[in-house]
Amino acid sequence: MSFSLDGVGLVHPNGHRALQGVSLAARGGERLAVIGPSGAGKTTLLRVLGAALRPGEGTVQLLGEAPWRLPAPALRTLRSRIGTVHQSPPIAPRLRVVTAVLSGRLGQWSAMRALGSLLRPSDLEGAHQALSRLSLEDRLFDRCDRLSGGQLQRVGIARVLYQQPALLLADEPVSALDPTLADATLQQLVAQSESTSATFVASLHAVDLALRWFPRIVGMRSGQVVFDEPVANVTEPMLAALYASEGGLPMQAPGLPLDIPSRTFTAASANSVERPDCL
C-alpha cells in the first residue's frame, strides 16, 4: 500500500472545511488523477498526502508509515521520499535553475553538501538530465526570475524528477503550459512513475488530460470523494454532475469530443495504451 486515507476530515484554521470523510488508498506504482470543480479540496488532499497538513479527523498512512505518530527525524526521512509539484512553483526568484533543480535532493543531502552545492553545483549532470526531459536544458544557468511562468513550472517539475520520490504528487502541474507542452510534460511525469514504480497522484483542471493519462480517476466535490473509478467506467453524466456548478467541463482542447464510451483504458492495458506523440 503506497498510501491510505481513512475517513480523513480537515478544517482549516479559518473555519473552512476542506475535506470530509475522505477514504482513498493506492498501491505502489498506481496513477490517479484527482478532478473536480475549484474549491473541491484537491489541493488540501494533496497536502495531506504530502505530510504537509495534519488532518483533524481520520488516519493517514504514507509509504507504510503513520506520519503523525513518527518522531521528527523519521518524519523528515519520510518527507524526503515524497515529492510535490506545486501549483505555483515555490522557488526563490534569485536562485539559478541548476540550484533550484538540485534542491530536490536537499532532504537526502547533509547540510555540508547543501552549502557546498550552493557555491559549486554538486551534480550538474543530474540537473541537466532532469531539465532535458522537459526541453529546458538550455536554461541550466539562468536565474529563475528570468523565466516565463511555464518555464518556471517545468523547473518545479524537474526538481521533483531529480528528487526521485516514491510518492509523486502534482497539484495542477501543467496549468501554465500550452496543450502540446502539457502533454509532453505529463508524459515525462508518467514515465518517471513507471520507471521508478512511484505512485503518482495529480490534481488536474483539464478533464481530457486526466482521462488521457491516468488509469484511475477520483472525482471530488465539496471536500468529498464523489467517485473513484477506473477510467473506463467514467461516464459523461458522472462528469457533468461533478462539474454541474461550473456550467461545463473544463477542457484542455475544448474543440475535440471527449470520446468516453469507446475508451478501453484499463489498469492492465495502461502501459500499452497509445499516447499522443507530441515531442
Partner 1 sequence: MTTAQSLPPRTPPGLRDPLARRRFVWLLAALVIAWPMLQLSGFAPSALFAPGNLQVIGGFLAGFMPPETAPDFLAMLGKATLETLAMATAGTALAFLIGAPLAFVTTRALSVSRIGPGPGRAQAAVVRQAGRSVLMVLRAIPEIVWALVFVRALGLGPAAGVLALAITYGGMLGKVYAEVLESTDTRPARALMESGSGRIAALVYGLLPHCGQELISYTVYRWECAVRASVVMGFVGAGGLGQLMDQSMKMLNGGEASSILLVFLVLVLLADALSNALRRLLA
Which part of the chain contacts partner 1 (CB under 8 A), choosing from 69-77, 170-178, 194-202, 223-231?
69-77
CA dihedral 122, 198, 234, 34 (to 10 degrees): -50
Candidates 2, 43, 44, 84: give the one binding partner 1 (CB under 8 A).
84
Choose between 92 and 241: whose C-beta lies nearer to partner 1: 92
Choose between 56 and 254: whose C-beta lies nearer to partner 1: 56
- Shortest Cβ distance from residue 87 to partner 1 (Å)? 11
Choose between 83 and 215: whose C-beta lies nearer to partner 1: 83
Q: Residue type at 50?
A: G
- Shortest Cβ distance from residue 138 to partner 1 (Å)? 22
Q: What is the separation of C-alpha 155 from the centre of its chain, rounded to a whole number of angstroms? A: 14
Compute φ and ψ for 11, nearest 5 degrees: -115, 125
Candidates 11, 95, 124, 249: give the one binding partner 1 (CB under 8 A).
95
Category of 198 on φ-ψ map: left (φ > 0), alpha (ψ -120 to 50) or beta: beta
Residues in Cβ contact with 54 at an 8 Å cutoff, skipping those fewer than 6 apart: 48, 68
Candidates 12, 27, 76, 146: give the one binding partner 1 (CB under 8 A).
76
In this structure, the number of other CB atoms found within 10 A of the CB of residue 108 comes to: 13
Overall residue count recorded for the chain in this entry: 279
- Shortest Cβ distance from residue 18 to partner 1 (Å)? 15
Q: Determine if 168 is a binding residue for partner 1 (CB under 8 A).
A: no
List 170's β-bridge partners, or say none: 85, 202
Rounded-to-integer distance, Cα 67 and Cα 54, Å: 9
- Shortest Cβ distance from residue 9 to partner 1 (Å)? 15
Residue closest to 210 by CA, chosen among 237, 180, 230, 181? 230
Residue that the C-alpha cell 478544517 belongs to: 11
User: One symbol per residue from 24 to 63: x for binding partner 1 (CB under 8 A), - otherwise; what is it?
Assistant: --------------------------xxxxx---------
- Shortest Cβ distance from residue 124 to partner 1 (Å)? 17
Q: What is the separation of C-alpha 69 from the centre of its chain, rounded to a whole number of angstroms? A: 25
Choose between 141 and 236: whose C-beta lies nearer to partner 1: 141
Candidates 15, 71, 255, 261: give the one binding partner 1 (CB under 8 A).
71
- Cα three-residue angle 168-174-175, rounded to 5 degrees: 125
- Shortest Cβ distance from residue 92 to partner 1 (Å)? 4
Interacting residues with partner 1 between 104 and 143 (CB under 8 A) = 104, 106-109, 111, 114-115, 118
Query: For residue 228, what is its C-alpha cell?
Result: 473513484
Sites of contact with partner 1 (CB under 8 A): 50-54, 68, 70-72, 75-84, 86, 90-95, 99, 103-104, 106-109, 111, 114-115, 118, 163, 165
